[in-house]
Structure 1
Amino acid sequence: MSTTDPRITVGVDGSAGSTAAVAWAAKIASLRHLELRIVHGLQVAGLYYGGGMTGIGAATLFEAVQADGERAIADARTLAASIDKDLVITTELPNDPPVPMLIEESRHARMLVVGRTGTGGFAEMLVGGTAATVASHAHGPVAVIRGRRGTTTLPDSGPVVVGVDGSPNSEQAIAVAFEEASLRGVPLVAVHAWNDITYEDTRGTARILTQPETLEEGEERLLTERLAGWPEKYPDVEVRRLLVRDRPRHALLEASETAQLVVVGSRGRGGFTGMLLGSTSQALVQHAQCPVLVVRPERKK
């Protein structure tokens, strides 16, 4: 995994999802011996812009929002320190909208970590498609912390799962997945899903491919080729190959039910040019049963 600065950055807002993200990020930072940076965007300007609030009212509102932010930061710091008392922790509380702030923070982080949902209201950090927005525009890997069955209960066992589709972005995901599996001391499940139906045009006209047996042989060969060399680089990682006749999102969502982490490229070989987050990664960010690590293409400097 390429790095900019040796730190893990986590966005917080005081919600249960945010708390789970802090705990997960602290464990990763401790495991990697990296600094943990905790950030919270106040977004004060949007609270009373155009609302006619001036003087004491605006000042009181600012103080209340700032106090909430400081409390979220303090609680997150306490939780992280309880996980590793020797962890180096830094914090930041800018008066910036959360999404642009998180994207900018991703420039300087080895990994950006966000919760699956936010608190709602003024301080909302990750409601609806915000996690997907951050994953779409970040400058490095983004971990969206999801628990089993839509809860904040995070799995502490199971393999690392990686989606393999032959795209350049998938190649980067494989590299990251091997590293994550090695650090955790768990097997790696490489999932390659294929089907014999394609869509020929924007109207969704379906075409069934002939000779599915021949197609499957080719897909099996693709999976073998994409994994070539990695077991030698990570001899401690047990590799399990899973070739399934299904849509990638279905296969990976099912695999997430028993995994502790799913690693996926932000956009696969089937994505449309210009899309920043493909349908498979979108589905995982919104519905996976474990944390999802979205790996983005390395940006040219």
Structure 2
Amino acid sequence: MDSTGAIVVGVDGSEQALRAVRWAAVEAAQRNLRLHLISGVDPALVGYYGVGLPIPQEAFDQVERQAEQELTDAAAAAHEAASGVVVTTARSQASPVPMFLDLSKRARLIVLGASGRGGFEGMLTGSTAVSVVAHSECPVVVVRGDERRPGPVVVGVDGSPTSISALGVAFEEAAWRGVPLVAVHAWSDRDYATTIPVEYGLLQTEPSDAEQARVLSESLAGWQEKHPDVTVERVVVRDRPRRQLLDWSARAQLVVAGSRGRGGFRGLLLGSTSQALLHYAECPVLIVRPQD
């Protein structure tokens, strides 16, 4: 069965992957969505025997048996976390990154553990999550920290088109969960200086607090009208965005961010803030990529 409309979770037998399965199972059950568990081929297996060399049948069979058992264990963990969830499983012969990117064309959401075992014992490494987040066509959640902590949904806002998309997702998540939304607009003079034209910098201008509050207000306006029942706390602060969002991740149940904001270099698929969240957040992180 394919990934159409499902919440897709990567499985590799690691505890991090099982935590992602449990988190996703509760989300899928609450939203009446199918949970699709999938396992791919560990690239280290090919590297171990050499590119172009055949993998001995005995080794291949052993890996396949282990993968099927991991999927069975993951399905049991999903049903334990949410008894009514509909679970499907699949074993793919593709490597993890291209496998997830193909699934992202049809999935509602992809969920990954913060890192798997990696190497010969597991396929989902930290670099897998970063690569999938950078290229996925649907939102991606990386389950970190306390996966079931009470608290608000927190979203980073900087006025960029991607952050506006992330804001919409964050409002939906807060509405689903019945919790407040904390909208954080943080900036630092150094970050701001890299995004303004050089001639403005020569004038030694910098944004006022009032101007930054206006950026947040304009970003929130339409979404608050669509979700009037969501209580919004506004945070406008002169600070590094990643530091503020990491601090909030210790109190939040979910942090939402765009894959990259208005700063940094054009062409980078992940900004420094989203990368920091993927590696250091203390709660699950939902990263939203630009949509056509």
TM-score, normalised via structure 2 length = 0.90
Give deviations 1:72-91, integer Å, cap 9, x for gaps.
Answer: 10011011112233221111
1:53–1:283 CA distance, 2 compared to 1 (3 A): same
Deviation at 1:208, TM superposition (A): 10
Aligned length: 282
Residue identity in the other structure for 2:132: V
Partners of 1:263 and 1:72 lie apart in 2 by 29
Deviation at 1:120, TM superposition (A): 2.3
Partners of 1:37 and 1:26 lie apart in 2 by 10
Q: What is the aligned partner in structure 2 of residue 150 from structure 1?
A: none
Aligned 1:198-213 pairs, distance under 5 A: 198-199=192-193
Alpha carbons 1:191, 1:242 under 8 Å: kept: yes
1:244–1:126 CA distance, 2 compared to 1 (3 A): farther
Q: What is the aligned partner in structure 1 of residue 144 from structure 2?
A: 146
Q: What is the aligned partner in structure 2 of residue 26 from structure 1?
A: 25
Q: Decide which of 79, 83, 86 is 1:85's aligned counterpart.
A: 83
User: Unaligned regions of 5+ residues in structure 2, if any?
Assistant: 196-200
User: Unaligned regions of 5+ residues in structure 1, if any?
Assistant: 148-152, 202-206
Q: What is the aligned partner in structure 2 of residue 73 from structure 1?
A: 71
1:123–1:102 CA distance, 2 compared to 1 (3 A): farther
Give SS of 2:235's match: strand
Deviation at 1:252, TM superposition (A): 0.7
Give SS of 1:277's match: coil
Residue identity in the other structure for 2:97: V
Deviation at 1:119, TM superposition (A): 1.3
Q: Is residue 157 of structure 2 the alignment partner of residue 164 of structure 1?
A: yes
Q: Is residue 169 of structure 2 the alignment partner of residue 179 of structure 1?
A: no
Q: Decide which of 199, 212, 234 is 1:219's aligned counterpart.
A: 212
Partners of 2:251 and 2:112 lie apart in 1 by 21
Deviation at 1:50, TM superposition (A): 4.6
Alpha carbons 1:159, 1:259 under 8 Å: kept: yes
Give SS of 1:228's match: helix
Q: Decide which of 62, 81, 89 is 1:64's aligned counterpart.
A: 62
Q: What is the aligned partner in structure 1 of residue 198 from structure 2?
A: none
Partners of 2:46 and 2:263 lie apart in 1 by 40
Deviation at 1:281, TM superposition (A): 0.4
Give deviations 1:78-115, integer Å, cap 9, x for gaps.
Answer: 11112233221111101111111111111111100000
What is the alpha-carbon root mean square deviation over aligned residues?
A: 2.1
Residue identity in the other structure for 1:253: L
Aligned 1:183-198 pairs, distance under 5 A: 183-197=176-190, 198=192
Give deviations 1:227-280, integer Å, cap 9, x for gaps.
Answer: 003222212211000011101111111111100100000110113211111111
1:69–1:24 CA distance, 2 compared to 1 (3 A): same
Aligned 1:1-301 pairs, distance under 5 A: 5-43=4-42, 45-50=46-51, 58-147=56-145, 153-197=146-190, 198-199=192-193, 215-299=208-292
Deviation at 1:47, TM superposition (A): 4.2
Partners of 2:276 and 2:202 lie apart in 1 by 24
Deviation at 1:52, TM superposition (A): 5.9
Alpha carbons 1:11, 1:18 under 8 Å: kept: yes
Residue identity in the other structure for 2:10: G
Deviation at 1:18, TM superposition (A): 0.3
